[in-house]
Amino acid sequence: MKLRPLDDRIVIKQSEAEDKTSGGIILPDTAKEKPQIGKVIAIGPGKLLDDGKRSKMSVKKKDEVIYAKYLGSEIEIDGEKYVILRESDILGIVER
């Protein structure tokens, strides 16, 4: 897949939703909560500033990030689900 986001947009591959609760109850597909964590697949060149320069992106490819729950555009390419969102919609980078 080749997808190049524009400006300050980022493509994220969503993590899989949990199949079980912490108590061991198996969840059906309709009850699974949408994950808010994923891996950065591609980043845009950065937001175009008033002076004509591009701002530096805070994330890079392969970063694991947490993003806002109901923001971004969900897309499906070749059977894989992705989310495209702006850099400002990312809440943090997971460091392990």
pLDDT digits (tens, 9 = 90+) for 53-82: 999 999 999 999 999 888 888 888 888 889
User: Is the residue at 55 inside a domain?
Assistant: yes
30-57 average pLDDT score: 84
User: Is the residue at 3 inside a domain?
Assistant: no
| pTM of the shown model | 0.77
DSSP code of 8? Answer: T
How many structural domains compose the chain?
Answer: 1
CA–CA separation, 2 vs 12, rounded Å?
13
* pLDDT reported for residue 68: 83
DSSP code of 12? Answer: E
Total residues belonging to the chain: 96
- Identify the domain containing residue 56 by its residue range: 9-17+29-60+68-94
- What are 93's strand-pairing partners? 65
With H, G, I as helix, E, B as strand and everything else as coil, classify residue 89.
Answer: helix
